[in-house]
Amino acid sequence: MTYDFIIVGAGSAGCVLANRLSADPGKRVLLLEAGPRDWNPLIHMPAGIARLANNRRVNWGYRTEPEAQLQGRTLWWPRGKTLGGSSAINAMCYIRGVAGDYDRWAQATGDARWSWSQVLPWFLRSEDNSRGASALHGAGGLLGVSDLRYHNELSDAFIDGATSAGFERNGDFNGAQQAGFGLYQVTQRGGRRCSTAVAYLRPARERANLEVRTGAAVANVVIRAGRAVGVQLLGSRTTIEAGEVILAGGAVNTPQLLMLSGVGPADHLREHGIAVAADHSEVGANLQDHLDICTLDGSTRKITYDHLNELAAGWRFLRHRDGPGSSNVAEAGGFVRSRLATDERCDLQFHFVPALLDDHGRHRLPGHGYTVHACYLHPHSRGQLRLRSADPAQPIAIHAHYLGDAEGHDLARMIEAARLSREILDQPAFAPYRGAPVFPEQRLASDADYAAFIRRKAETIYHPAGTCRMGNDASAPLDSELRLRGVDGLRVVDASVMPSLPSGNTNAPVIMIAERASALILNETSPTADRS
């Protein structure tokens, strides 16, 4: 059997593609996912993310290579490995970024279709916002977006602390302006997580022309005479044939699969005995991520999520779809244009968690407390991915190259982010709760002290992107319609296509990219009225 489309990866982008492309009953679509179905009930209870961190069945659990600027540490990179991908295990914060992000994409690609005015309709098409429709929000789309049904009082203290530190309140980070502090809207519907598997794949599963296979890891794309003709699964030599192959494995898995298929830096591929189908030096290059620094304080009041009665929270969630079980944990946050900003956009983002989170929460700390995450949004540092071998089962080597820019641009902004975190936590709003500092263990004064702390403790905030970028220059692997240059019948649709990181969380932009890509593939010129 030959399919019209094979989609590799049933994550944030793949589920969108599967829905939109199979809406045409004349097209046969095969969706392949290496992980299992999203049966785990902790996926669907928002607060269940705390228990999914170490679950290797639904999480690839990658690690970087030793990071030279972070004391040689290897950082843990969680990525979703189930239907819904990372949208099934993330903190559900719905953030689009700002107009300037997409106008820069339009400039990088030479294609106005990636400008803010032209991507906004695709954001709106996807969105079913509980606040209703407006010029900047959609209602009736497939992706549930809503206000939190429950949040901890410490999240209010964080917002109050930010305003007393001189920042504005903001009730809608996707509204007229991004700057300010408030509660995040989340990808939930009725208090439950609304992953792309729930939002997009579930409504399409009964279509006769859509086939979904889980536990189906792809070993390589089969390329003949300059055209992608199908894929081979791990452990099989049979080619599953398609008119077009679409890679949606994410910023880590997609470049690895391309290189295993002979698409990448020619010399590097030959080192591993892989025949070169297309020489692309930037496949696996241009790796960007948001580096994050956490400031932790103890709490004198036992109201945090550190020692939550999980049984009671789970029972309340099952009965009423609210309470702590419906929390995304990273309830509040904000965006700041710092004194070091070099353009019109906010350059710092904050996430507040009413719990002590060290090493992504995988190691529980004693006592009660709260955490401020802070990241720099527009890093100059660029990393790369490189094969360890030609074995598809071997994880790729991740060289994130954090803080690696020669001019020290990124480190200066991270220091600013950490200083502002401390300033907010020192405000009177936290006086009723404030205990001893946890990380850093004592008050810091100099930039050198902050730099040392960042090098010792900074981690990813889970936004890798850019490893198979679209652009209008010859070195860009993809054109502006996400087609791979030099290989017909092959596209990439995931975070790896981003020329640069957006100003915020990456899940909503990836969903938009998949909506936009579906239209490009089907030759649609604008969002259709039918959102089913």
The residue length of the chain stands at: 532
% residues pLDDT > 90 (the chain): 96
Q: How confident is the model at residue 527 (pLDDT cuts 50, 70, 90)?
A: confident
Domain harbouring 24, CATH code: 3.50.50.60
Question: Average pLDDT for residues 226-253, to the nearest whole number?
Answer: 97
Band (231; pLDDT cuts 50, 70, 90): very high
pLDDT over 60 (residue 531): no
pLDDT digits (tens, 9 = 90+) for 109-138: 999 999 999 999 999 999 999 999 999 999
Residue 364, pLDDT score: 85
Query: Is residue 80 helix, strand or coil?
Result: strand
* Of 395, 423, 457, the domain-final residue: 457
Q: What is the pLDDT of residue 1?
A: 79
Q: Is residue 389 part of a domain?
A: no
State the average pLDDT over residues 47-76: 95
* Residue 395 in domain: no
Q: Which of 412, 439, 457 is the last residue of a domain?
A: 457
**Residue 268 confidence (pLDDT):** 98
Q: pLDDT tens digit string along 447-484?
A: 999 999 999 999 999 999 999 999 999 999 999 999 99
Which pLDDT score, from 0 to 100, does residue 267 have? 98
Residues 452 and 499 in one domain: no
Q: Do 43 and 176 belong to one domain? A: no
Q: Taking the complete model, does pTM exceed 0.95, yes or no?
A: yes
Quick check: is 139 in a domain? yes
Q: What is the largest CA-CA distance in the chain?
A: 69
Residue 383 domain-assigned (yes or no): no
Residue 93 to residue 443: CA distance in whole angstroms: 30
Q: Are 354 and 369 in contact (CB under 8 A)?
A: no
- Structure tokens belonging to residue 306: 């550190």
As a three-state string, the secondary structure of 287-307 is: EECCEEEEEEEEECCCCCCCC
d(CA 479, CA 483): 6
- 283 and 300 inside one domain: no
pLDDT at residue 528, rounded to an integer: 57
The kind and range of the H/E element at 159 are helix 153-164
pLDDT at 532: 42
Mean pLDDT, residues 329-335: 98
Lookup result for tokens 């939930």: 188
- Looking at the fold, whether 94 and 126 belong to one and the same domain comes out as yes
Residues 306 and 442 in one domain: yes
383: left (phi over 0), alpha (psi -120 to 50) or beta: beta
Examine the domain organization and report whether 31 and 101 are in the same domain.
Answer: yes
Local structure of 532: helix, strand or coil: coil
Residue 394 covered by a domain: no
What's the burial of 224, exposed, middle or buried (CB within 10 Å: 0-12/13-18/19+)? exposed
Smallest CA-to-CA distance from 511 within 19, 171, 113 is with: 19
- The answer to the question of residue 515 being in a domain is yes
For residues 311 and 419, membership in a common domain is answered with yes
For 333-346, write each residue's pLDDT tens digit.
Answer: 999 999 999 999 99
How many whole angstroms separate alpha carbon 22 and alpha carbon 28? 7
Boundary of a domain, candidates 434, 457, 480: 457
Same domain for 420 and 441, yes or no, is: yes
Same domain, yes or no: 349 and 411:
yes
Q: What's the whole-number mean pLDDT along residues 135-163?
A: 98
pLDDT in tens, 27-41: 999 999 999 999 999
Residues 235 and 364 in one domain: no
Residue 529 confidence (pLDDT) above 90: no
Task: Please state, in angstroms and as integers, the Cα–Cα distance from residue 482 to each residue in 7, 44, 376, following that order.
Answer: 14, 32, 27
Q: Is the pLDDT of residue 409 over 50?
A: yes
Q: What is the pLDDT of residue 530?
A: 45
Q: Say if CB 75 and CB 460 are below 8 A apart.
A: yes
Instruction: Report angle CA 145, 147, 153 to the nearest 5 degrees.
Output: 150
* Rounded average pLDDT over 254-281: 98
**CA-wise closest residue to 521 among 487, 485, 486, 492:** 492
Residue 226, pLDDT above cutoff 60 = yes
**Within-domain flag for 51:** yes
Regarding whether 298 and 153 lie in a shared domain, the answer is yes
- Overall number of domains in the chain: 2
pLDDT of residue 282: 98
Average pLDDT of the chain is 97
Question: Residue 529 falls within a domain, yes or no?
Answer: yes
Range of the domain at 357: 149-183+291-378+403-457
- 281 with 310, same domain: the answer is no
Q: Is 320 a catalytic residue?
A: no
Q: Per-residue pLDDT for 279 more than 90?
A: yes
Mean pLDDT of 217-232: 98
CATH number of the domain within which 418 lies: 3.30.410.40
Instruction: Catalytic residue, from 137, 360, 401, 463: name it.
Output: 463
